[in-house]
A = this chain, B = another copy of it.
Amino acid sequence: MLSVVDLRTRIASGALTPQGAVALSLEAIARHEPGVGALVRHQAEPVIAASGPLAGIAVGIKDIIDTADMPTEMGSPIYAGWQPKADAAIVSRLRALGAVPFAKTTTCPFAGLDPTLTRNPRDPGHTPGGSSAGSAAAVAAGMLPMALGTQTGGSVIRPAAYCGIAAVKPSFRLLPMVGVKTFSWALDTLGLFGAGVRDVAHALSVIAGRPALDLSEAPGAPRIGLVMQDFAGIPDAAALDALALAGRAAEAAGASLSDLALPGALAEAFAAHGTVQDFEARQALAWEYAHHRAAITPLLGPQLDAAQAITAEDYDAARRVAHRGRRALKDVFDEVDVLLTVSAPGRAPAGLGSTGASSFNRLWTLMGVPCVNIPVPGDGLPLGVQVIARFGDDGRALAAARLIEKALST
């Protein structure tokens, strides 16, 4: 895989030019893209900035994120060939930093659940997950050092886990959502994919203009709470083994580990996620639903049909439950610095018929708290665990994840 930090180190030392770094991506795309299908389109001769803290970093942009120089098709025939006027705020930010956002990556239609045709680079017979399918697959295939995804349920952390790469879903609204197609405004969160945790930590700190997010070490040995999410179901044995392995590695690296039972308010919040999401999706996609219902895909269409029955009262009640969940979660973080749990119920499902389940991600998206996926080494398709921290404590989540990632590799 291409590493943001390695590329930047080589560019800073003069061993590599920004052009040379982007050429590595173009070569890898020529080699791997036919078998993976991670890209909607890319520019063969992108404009490459000579300088900037992310100069030479090729970035894949999920195709629900507006680009002024490439169509943005939302994964849907309704938007075939649609050319937005302006870059999304995050794309403008990347360009200002010298990065090269020259490729649009596949997305489930409107970042929903209907699968793409993208294949998992670790095994083409399996899904890469979704909805940020192309972004995860492109990084995992070594085509891009960095890609943008969005998470409303589990669309960043889950595909990262399935593809065996690092990802961060930062605190809600740390990254600007202007120009990103909305599914649910209370949930949609931009995230970053990269080869390793230090790569996404470095990229996030630069993009967000917050150097403290890029700590090479946690401030003191982290107190880690190991959590199951019984309300979300039981992960399979392999996922539980990966979680246990990550926990032991963390302890060996000096972290303190304790089993932690989540309060009931969080189980209730988990159950409220769908109501918040779907009541907002019905409004966010109202034009598409009213004018193009027949062109809406087989999973999203009925989801929106059902959403028409959700009342404002249901929604307000769900929002109150979420609010109580956030308060309860604050108390949890009085006891521990971060939480550690599985990123997905297991390995990437076989076939391309489903993008897998977001069950182990939804609660954290609703809580708005930072999540970091760490790939767990092992045989077969990848498994992932996620580190979760308090709202706004993205630096601590990333530092703890780096500690665990390092401990797992030794």
Contacts and interface: CB of A to CB of B under 8 A. Distances in A.
Contacts of A208: 312
A86 B287 contact: yes
B312 A210 contact: yes
Size range of the interface on A?
Answer: 35 or more
Among A92, A177, A392, chain B packs the most CB atoms within 10 A around the CB of A92
Nearest to A173: B185
A41 interface: no
A288 interface: yes
A182 interface: yes
A176 interface: yes
Interface in A281-320: 283-284, 286-288, 290-291, 311-313, 316
Interface in A178-235: 178-179, 182, 185-186, 208-210
A166 to B, nearest CB: 23
A290 B95 contact: yes
Interface in A159-180: 173, 176-179
Contacts of A91: 287
Given A173-B185, A178-B182, A185-B176, A87 B209 contact: no
B79 A82 contact: no
A358 B237 CA distance: 60
A52 to B, nearest CB: 13
A61 to B, nearest CB: 14
Contacts of A85: 79, 82
Contacts of A284: 89, 176, 178
Contacts of A288: 86
A170 to B, nearest CB: 12
A376 to B, nearest CB: 32
B178 A92 contact: no
A287 to B, nearest CB: 4
A210 B314 CA distance: 11
B286 A92 contact: yes
A96 interface: yes
A281 to B, nearest CB: 10
Nearest to A210: B312
A284 B95 CA distance: 14
Interface of A: 68, 79, 82, 85-87, 89, 91-93, 95-96, 173, 176-179, 182, 185-186, 208-210, 280, 283-284, 286-288, 290-291, 311-313, 316, 392
Given A86-B288, A178-B283, A210-B313, 12 more contacts: A68-B291, A79-B85, A87-B286, A89-B286, A91-B287, A92-B286, A96-B286, A96-B290, A176-B185, A178-B182, A210-B316, A316-B392
18 contacts: A68-B287, A82-B85, A87-B286, A89-B283, A89-B284, A91-B287, A92-B283, A93-B286, A95-B290, A173-B185, A173-B186, A176-B185, A178-B283, A178-B284, A179-B287, A208-B312, A210-B312, A316-B392
